[in-house]
Amino acid sequence: MTTRDERNKFSAVIEERIIKDNVSTMEAIVNYCEETGLELEVAGSLVNSVLKLKIEDEAKKLRYLKSK
């Protein structure tokens, strides 16, 4: 089980990468996992509600999800 502090640190790193690398949230997460060796399944447990909303918004814009 991940702690709130771990999720907040992960979120901060991902948010920084989104801005610095000008990539989507999912791209930032996948790139981070590739560079650090973190399993995607573990990263999934670190995604907080803010990142989840960003991923959902990006998916809707790409029409991967239907808008409600």
Q: For the chain, give the number of residues.
A: 68
Instruction: Grade residue 66 by pLDDT with cuts at 50, 70 and 90.
Output: confident
Grouping H, G, I as helix, E, B as strand and the rest as coil, residue 4 is helix
Question: What pTM was computed for the model?
Answer: 0.89
Distance (Å, whole) CA 1 – CA 24: 26
pLDDT single digits (tens) 8-59 = 999 999 999 999 999 999 999 999 999 999 999 999 999 999 999 999 999 9
Please report, in angstroms and rounded to a whole number, the separation of the first and last CA atoms in the chain.
31
pLDDT at 67 > cutoff 80: no
